[in-house]
Structure formats: C-alpha cells, structure tokens
Structure 1
C-alpha cells in the first residue's frame, strides 16, 4: 500500500496537469501551442536544465557514464526497433524516429523529479540532452531524408545542459540575482510542458488504435531493454540505471507528430500513436515506478 501511495503521489501531478490542458481545449478556450512551445524550449527548459545541473553535486565519472549509456541505449533501441519495423513491413521513415525518441521532456523530466528528487532531475536532464541532440540530427535525417549536426547546435536546450554541466564540474557560480532569475524561469517549464501536452493530445485525431497499442507496448519492451543494456555496458549505478530506463520508456512525443506533419510522413497515423502511447503510459509508468522505488530505498 505504501508503494501504491508513493507512485500515486509521483504520477498524479503529471497527469492532472495534463488533464488541465486537455480540459481547457475541450471547453473551447484558445491555447497557442506554437508560442508556448517556443517559449518553453527557448527560455524555461534551458533555464531548468542549467539550474538543475549547476546545483547538482555531480560525480564527473558517474555522469559521463550516464551520458555514454544514454547514447548506447538510443543506438541499441534504434537498431532493435529498425529490425522490428522491417520484420513487420512498416515504414522506418514514418515510425523509427517516433518510436526511438520518447517524451523525455514533457513527461520524463517531471516524473524523474517527483520520483527521485534533485538527483533524478539532474540525471533526467543529462539523458534529455543526449536525446535532444540525437533527435534533432538523426531523427530529422530519418524522417526527412536529410539532416545536419547544425540542427542540434541551434537548440537552446543544448547550451543550457552543456553550461549546467560546466558550472557543476568546475564549481563556478553565477551571481545570486542571476541564478534566482534562471530558477524562476525554469520553474515555468514543468507546468507549461504538462499543460501543453494535454492541449496537444486533445487536438490530435486518433486513428489506427489497434496497431498503435501494439507498437506502444513493443517500444516499451525494446527501449526499456536498451536502457538496461546501456547502463550495464558502462557500469552505471542503480539510480542512474533507474533514471535511464524510466526515460527510455516514456510515451511517443508530440514533437514526433509535428515532424511527421512537416515532412509528410503519415502524420495521421503518428498522431494516433502519440495519443495511444500517452494513454498506455498512464498504466506503464506507475508499474515501472512500483518496481523501481523499493530498490531505490525511498
């Protein structure tokens, strides 16, 4: 019963804020997703990543291992999912990037923070930064047939995470007024991302529910195993292993639909998968947390 309560305390705020956004749209109110998303990923999320990492007491070796393990995990997940899609006769251009790069931002970061505190937040930030770099390079290349490392270099979240790691590892400190300003900006990120997730899900059209459920469950198995493999390969500690597996099994991101829409990669089917995988996550994330929390000693 104690574990059930702990899990509820972790996931309830995440899904309740998502429901706020969902209900807001269904009530007929306006919500400019493009504006909020641009503000979040240009200002509040980079600020959150910077402050979370800059304040963390980092073991350089542990976080280097976690970053390397994240890279291995995403490469292993991509290969496993590519083989699965080829065997099923499904389009890798449509499905490989959405299935590989989950919603580590809108959902993964708040879940990690609520579950594992400041340490979990810092670990999730490292994994999110690795995922974002891969998504804006390899992910764009898969969907569009072209891509460039310059895409990742244009993203403020990359610099927020990189500078946060530099400050943490060197012991540098910003003036207090500036750090507090960044902390305030970062505090906007999580509620904005969760409400926007709910808004986006409310506006998507669900199609192909059956196949989407199968794909959602298969990606959880493949990505979860890839997360464990990456952590095992580099000897990541238990808390880092939990953080990596948890991030890897996050649902398909709304940005995958936006990318599919931009490059005409079956956006309707991807939209359905986003909605279905998010609903599946309502069950799978609590199950994963229930398995992890006893080992974490929380």
Structure 2
C-alpha cells in the first residue's frame, strides 16, 4: 500500500505530465525553447519569491540546507571521480560523470516531486535547494565542465546574475528580513502564487520534451552515473542529513529526495559550451551526459517511488 500511495500521490503525476510533453514533442513540431524561457524567466522566479516570502522555515534550517547542498555536491564529485577512474573514464567524459552525479534535477523533477510528497514545506525546501544548487553549478560545475578547455570559466558566472531566479530569491529574503511581507491575500502574493503554481506543470512538460529530443548514443556507458544516482546518492544524502541534524524532519526528507533526483539538465548546457573536442569515432561529453540524463530519469521512476514511500512512512529519517 505504501508503494502504491507513493506512486499515485507523488511519482505518478510527474510521470503523467512528462509523458504528455514527450507525446507533444513526438506528434508535433513544438519548440521547447519558449516554454523553457517562460519557466526560467517568469514562472520559476515567481515560485521562488512566493515560497520564500510565505515559508515558515527559520534561518537555521535554511543555513543547514545550504550547507547540505554544497556538502552533497562536493562528496558526490569526489565519489564520481573515484568511480570514473575505476571504470577508465578521463578528460571531458570524467567531468561529465562528475557533473551527472553531483547535480540532481532539483527543479524540473525535484520541485514537483517534493510538493506532491510533502506539500508546501516540500515545495519551499525544494526551491531553496534549487537556488543554492544553481550557485554551485555556475561556480564549481563550470570549473569541472571547463577543465582542460582553452576557455576560462569565469565568464559563465554572469549566468547567475542574468537569470531572474537569483533576484527573486534576494527580493524574498529582503522582504522577510525587513518584516514587510505582504499578506497572503494581497494582490502581489496572490499573483505570485498563481504564476508560480503554473511552473510545476510547465517544467514537467519541458522535461518530457527534452527526453524526447535526447540523442541516446551512449547507453552502455551510462551504467556508472546511473548507479551513482540510484544507489549512492540517497545513502550519501541521508548521511549528510543525519550529520546536519535538521530540526524539522520534513526538511531533512525533502533534502534527501531532492538529492536522489535524476541527473540535471543544466550541466549539459555547460558541457556543450566548455567541453573539449573528441577524437573522431569517440562519443562526446554532451552525448555521454544527455544519455545519462535520459537513463537516470527513466531508472529513477521505481527508485523514487520506493524512496518516497520510505520517507513518508518514517523508515528513513
């Protein structure tokens, strides 16, 4: 009953909407770029602003969450480096493996999943997780993606400040700190909430479209990153959550759930931008990473169902 409930209440809705996006891409010439732009520039910032202004999480919980996100990324990068060396990966492919392991899809998959599984606290925690992870991706992630390339990585740091998400977060934090948060029934908050809620289905449609457009050319080399995401990620996240000692168990559970999400899409864009060329006949880092995203997303359906059931039942944390 626990697995059935977890699937129908959390994983099933995500899968259903993503399948609609996949079918749309298969049956029409729908362009994903406008949807993705609307999500990144309007819907997600509104969701972040509304979630932060209305959250009941205290500063201590947010600080621990931020520390946990950074710690998780660093540990997973180290583990992935070791696994990559064992399986013979090197250069740009080793970097792609580390990116796939360290950065979960905390936005397109994590936010809807966390909200379906743990309600408003889940959504707010997931938004904060994504915000901190974005900062790590555009610093440490860019460094990994650009290692060995001729170009430097500092130029990509402006991406943090080009996207409205960081400003929405700063505005929400400032309003909370100054104690001037508008009422929940005010026009501003109702508008932000309405627009932010629209981000959930849109992100899932984009996920489905992206999966359809994925060029799956390196499935046989996706075993290592898939194993890291499915098996190692939850264990490492649970260990970090226990070490940090979150006062609110729901925040700890969402942290674990976010960390166990499949490989993120953003590192793929960084890999395309910075990865060095490959020898003819070899797979490229973008091909390796795009296949990993596809494989981990499909493989995570069952794994996340089990994890949600365990977290909701209190078997974990």
CA distance in 2, matches of 1:129, 1:113: 16
Task: Name structure 2 gaps, 5 residues minimum.
Answer: 276-283
Tell whether the 8 Å contact from 1:102 to 1:252 is kept in structure 2 after alignment: yes
2:295 to 256, 276, 280: 276
Which residue number in structure 2 is paired with residue 115 of structure 1? 117
- Structure 1 range deviating more: 167-176 or 187-196: 167-176
- Equivalent residue for 2:169? 161
Shift of residue 282, structure 1, vs aligned partner: 1.0
- Say which is worse superposed, 143-152 or 33-42, in terms of deviation: 143-152
Equivalent residue for 2:182?
174
The aligned counterpart of 2:72 is: 73
Q: Normalising by the residue count of structure 2, what TM-score does the alignment of the two structures yield?
A: 0.86
Q: 1:168 Cα deviation (Å)?
A: 3.7
For the pair 1:141 / 2:143, whether they are aligned, the reply is yes
Matching of residues 233-252 of structure 1 within 5 Å: 233-237=243-247, 238-252=249-263
Tell me the distance in 2 between the aligned counterparts of 1:137 and 1:4. 40
Post-superposition offset of 1:69: 1.8
Q: CA deviation at 1:278?
A: 0.7
Structure 2: how far apart are the matches of 1:165 and 1:243?
A: 21
Q: How far apart in 1 are the matches of 2:233 and 2:176?
A: 29
Residues 230, 299 of structure 2: 8 Å contact kept: no
- Mapped partners of 1:74, 1:50: distance in 2: 25
Counterpart-to-counterpart distance in 1, 2:235 and 2:20: 33
Report the CA distance shift for 1:221/1:163 in structure 2 as closer, same or farther (over 3 A): farther
In the other structure, the counterpart of 1:48 is 47
CA contact (8 A) 1:77 1:223 kept: yes
Structure that is richer in helix per residue: 1
1:10-35 Cα shifts (integer Å, max 9, x gaps): 111101010001001111x1222222
SS at match of 2:263: coil
Instruction: Pick closer, same or farther for the CA change 1:55–1:193 going to 2, 3 Å.
Output: same
Name the stretch that deviates more: 145-154 or 78-87. Answer: 145-154
Check conservation: 1:213, 1:277, Cα contact below 8 A: no
For 1:189-208, what per-residue CA distance to the aligned partner results, in whole angstroms no more than 9, with x for missing partners? 11111001100100112122
Note the alpha carbon deviations across 1:98-151, whole angstroms, 9 max, x for none. Answer: 221111000000000010000111111111111111111211221123323433
TM-score, normalised relative to structure 1: 0.91
Give deviations 1:135-184, integer Å, cap 9, x for gaps: 11211221123323433233321222333234345432237222222222
**Counterparts of 1:89 and 1:178, CA distance in 2:** 54
Give yes or no for contact 1:206–1:271 (8 Å, CA) kept in 2.
Answer: yes
Contact 1:137/1:152 (<8 A) preserved: no
Distance 2:67 2:50 in 1: 22
Contact 2:222 2:292 in 1 (8 A): yes
- Cα distance change, pair 2–80 in 1 and its aligned pair in 2 (3 A): closer
| C-alpha distance in 2 between matches for 1:2 and 1:287 | 9
Matches of residues 1-298 of structure 1 in structure 2 within 5 Å? 1-27=1-27, 29-91=28-90, 92-145=94-147, 146-148=152-154, 149-174=157-182, 176-237=186-247, 238-264=249-275, 266-295=285-314
Shift of 1:188: 1.9
Give the direction of change, closer, same or farther, for the CA distance of 1:160–1:45 in structure 2 (3 Å limit): same
The two structures, once aligned, show a CA RMSD in angstroms of 2.1
Q: Is this contact kept in 2: 1:60–1:169, CA < 8 A?
A: no
Distance 2:237 2:137 in 1: 17
